[in-house]
Amino acid sequence: MTSFTEALNSASRTGDSPGLQKNPLPSGAGAGGSDILQTPPPALEVKDVSKAFTHRRRTTPVLNQVSLTVRQQEFVSIVGPSGCGKSTLFHIIGGLTLPDSGTVSMNGQTVTGQRGNISYMPQQPALFPWRSIEDNVLLAGELMGEPQAAARENARRWLTKVGLGGFEKAYPHMLSGGMQQRAAFLRALLAPQELMLLDEPFSALDALTRSDMQRWLLELWEENRRSVLFITHNIEEALLLSSRIYVFSGRPGSVLHSVDVPFPRPRREEITDTPEFLQMRRQLSQWMREEQAKGRN
């Protein structure tokens, strides 16, 4: 599906986001004309992040010493029980919330508390009610100063691809929850930043649309690898899409397991029937059940 690539190419062509460079030279490299290839710093590195919220003199620890890495052009997922701090972690990475301790780095630079470095799809679609669907989808590019006409044409093509053709001029309240989610996903996808944070992007979609979107995202990522951190409650989805999965404990969330997903790429849905896949799914489901059970005790 070439249009996936086209869309991303056209997005990344204009994507000179502040503080983000594609594969910048690691510090110390390059001086003296060295052409030795070194591993670039990770797209995202979260180090020892802790966070507690205080409400009416009651303090609730939400994240405990969380460390995780998304390497350049890697697809990484987080799974964990409800309320364990996954969305809070995204707010911290996006600079919307400050951690109590720990740091967030992108491409080797500390960016804790800084905004504007990521493309972000929040758990609640959060479309602007006064902008049409098309204008909502265009927003991120507009903020980054993308040329209007080409971006608009690109957005229209994509809206059709995700089943929102004919709704370009509609306003968010005229769309179902699932349609709003698709529009919000598209807005994140067409944003020019290299690192995408997707917070349960497909949770409001019916099984068929969800499976379509997963396939598209997989193709998109395999053709034009961006760095992605993805939250989902769906273990099968995490296994199908990711190179690595972080399993979080119940609140306060900490990293219980980091699982490398070995299936070769390009991946297709058929892998979900293989014994290896089923075994990994069983193991992850068991860990999740154990964590959920602890939360109920």
Ligand X SMILES: Nc1ncnc2c1ncn2[C@@H]1O[C@H](COP(=O)(O)OP(=O)(O)OP(=O)(O)O)[C@@H](O)[C@H]1O
Nearest approach, Cβ of 200 to Mg ion (angstroms)? 7
Q: Where are the beta strands (DSSP E) in 122-232?
A: 195-199, 227-231
87, 105, 186 from 101: Cα distances, Å:
17, 13, 33
Nearest approach, Cβ of 76 to Mg ion (angstroms)? 16
Q: Which is nearer to ligand X, 226 or 251 (CB)?
A: 251
Q: Which is nearer to ligand X, 85 or 94 (CB)?
A: 85
Q: Which is nearer to ligand X, 63 or 155 (CB)?
A: 63
Please say whether the beta carbons of 267 and 237 come within 8 A: no
Residue 53's binding partner out of Mg ion, ligand X, none, with CB under 5 to 8 Å set by partner kind: ligand X
Q: Which is nearer to ligand X, 83 or 102 (CB)?
A: 83
Nearest to 118 by CA among 101, 99, 143, 135: 143
- Report residue 234 as tokens: 């769906």
Instruction: Compute how many residues bind ligand X; rule: CB under 6 A.
Output: 12
Nearest approach, Cβ of 136 to ligand X (angstroms)? 22
Residues 6 or more apart from 69 whose CB is under 8 A from it? 42, 44, 45, 46, 76
96: Cα within 13 Å, side-chain hemisphere: 10
Residues 102-141 close enough to bind ligand X by CB under 6 A: 123
- Report residue 165 as tokens: 């053709």
- Which residue among 13, 53, 276, 282 contacts ligand X (CB under 6 A)? 53
Q: Which is nearer to ligand X, 17 or 180 (CB)?
A: 180
Nearest approach, Cβ of 86 to ligand X (angstroms)? 4
Binding region for ligand X (CB under 6 A): 53, 55, 60, 62, 82-88, 123
